[in-house]
Chains A and B, each alone.
Chain A
């Protein structure tokens, strides 16, 4: 189970890295075609933007860990471990509720976009934006797991441990 999870993590990471590399290469192609070949290609801009949307939500689904997010954690690490656990529970629960409420309307809107195609590559916008649904499901799962683990009394915050040591 654990090795399967590690593999999954590694593959997701390599997909993120590949997307960033593709973004980079598309940019270079764009500059090259315009200034060296004098024959600008138009699809690169759209490709870059599509990849960017996928990069952000793919990575936030499968690569970025909870403690890597930009977070205001002054208060979180200043309170006692018990209260910190309550904070973690409330935060995870809020994320799950938010996703549960919004997932159907969001799906409805994204599904509706199948009629709209992108201007140059004619990709259905439903395909471009479908990553957001994957992101919602993945985020829900991540915070469900976090909620259960915190509720069971596991300590998930390495940093918090260090903070505790400094106080004592």
Chain B
């Protein structure tokens, strides 16, 4: 490691550590690098600006954020929820199942775990805690756990970011997430059923079959959205980035004209809010682009890779170690930072060790999503705490079991890559394992 790189990393750790925004910390750290290395300081701005200007796929991020915000504001989430209640509310632990199924469907539209928790999650926690039917901590914990499914099932903002740093096809990444997402959903529902039986949580009153058609019809246009998006992408109608715009348009049409639940002033608020979050993510992306450039010019990933290949380390050992590291970092760092800054370090090593990069990407995204619910720094826990006022302590106490189950599911997906790769292979993907 060169002196300039060591200084760059220590500046980054120091500034980010004392609470300087991550985006600024990375930009400053790279300026330190450029000065010590005697290179042109303008390279920092140059890399960031050309990087942002050249990466068309990243435009999906602001558009998916808009789509998710429209769905939350325009009662689309509420309608989906009543549909889920009528389907799975009648089983033991009813609203817990509703929570998971709602996340599965909602995630097929928004691609953001935070939007899931803040929108649909808030409503369902209110339903679950009404009349003390479920302990508040449990309601919050299962909401957080099921929100992690969001970015695994397409469309997915984190997967767009992974595609950016790994140069993999977003189309195949999206496909690869579908079965793992459903798999984790099923596991969570099983866990909810077991806990509900042991702790004797209530069922919801069964919705009569006569009401079912009306509720289904009401939610039907919203239910169509995941289908439209998948057809659009895999039917070759739109690129995954354009699909984000289609999702936002569809949500806008539904909320504005079909359900008539969107005022112009609300729409304005949505755009302001979405612009804010897009810009904060954009700044972290800008910083990460510079840092990735430095890391690449220092040859770190290929050095790491040749070192690991030299050790004759087994790919499975490698992937498990990387995952343990990511889980650890996930307790401290935000998912965007991990995907954009940390994961690129391991991509060449993965490729050299014969690990499939679509498999690795899905695993890595799931891993960072688990990181969203691990204390002390779990973004989803904070969001739920902020929108419901349920104390963090109560939420965290109930979260452990979900965390354990999610990590076990992650292990299964690591050990059996076919669960991830089967669907993309059906669509013509040739994996590195073949």
Contacts and interface: CB of A to CB of B under 8 A. Distances in A.
Interface of A: 13-14, 16-21, 23-24, 27-28, 30-31, 35, 45, 48-50, 52-53, 55-56, 58-60, 63-64, 66, 68-77, 84, 87-88, 90-91, 94-95, 98, 101-102, 105-106, 108-110, 128-129, 132, 139
B272 A13 contact: yes
B337 interface: yes
Interface string B7-28: 0000000011111111110011
Interface in B355-410: 376-377
B271 A72 contact: no
A94 B275 contact: no
8 contacts: A20-B62, A30-B242, A55-B278, A70-B337, A101-B41, A105-B42, A109-B42, A128-B53
A63 B276 contact: yes
B242 A76 contact: no
Contacts, number: 182
10 nearest interchain CB pairs? Answer: A76-B19, A59-B279, A56-B282, A69-B21, A27-B245, A91-B20, A109-B42, A17-B271, A16-B275, A87-B18
A128 B50 CA distance: 10
Interface string B38-81: 00111011101100111010110011001000000000000000
B281 interface: yes
A127 to B, nearest CB: 12
Given A105-B41, A132-B45, A132-B49, A16 B272 contact: yes
Given A70-B23, A72-B16, A98-B31, 9 more contacts: A24-B245, A49-B59, A52-B52, A53-B49, A55-B62, A56-B278, A74-B332, A95-B20, A95-B28
B72 to A, nearest CB: 17
Nearest to A118: B53
Contacts of B268: 14, 17
B145 to A, nearest CB: 22
B249 interface: yes
Interface string B193-227: 00000000000000000000000000000000000
Interface of B: 15-24, 27-28, 31, 35, 40-42, 44-46, 48-49, 52-54, 56, 58-59, 62-63, 66, 237-238, 242, 244-246, 248-249, 268, 271-272, 274-276, 278-284, 286, 332-334, 336-337, 376-377
Contacts of A72: 16-17, 19, 22, 332-334, 377
A31 B279 contact: no
A69 B280 contact: yes
Contacts of A27: 59, 63, 242, 244-245
Contacts of A88: 19
A84 B20 CA distance: 11
B18, B282, B336 pick with most chain A CB within 10 angstroms: B18
A101 B48 CA distance: 17
A41 B278 CA distance: 26
Contacts of B45: 102, 106, 109-110, 129, 132
A48 B59 CA distance: 8
A105 B180 CA distance: 48
Contacts of B283: 56, 60, 64, 69-70
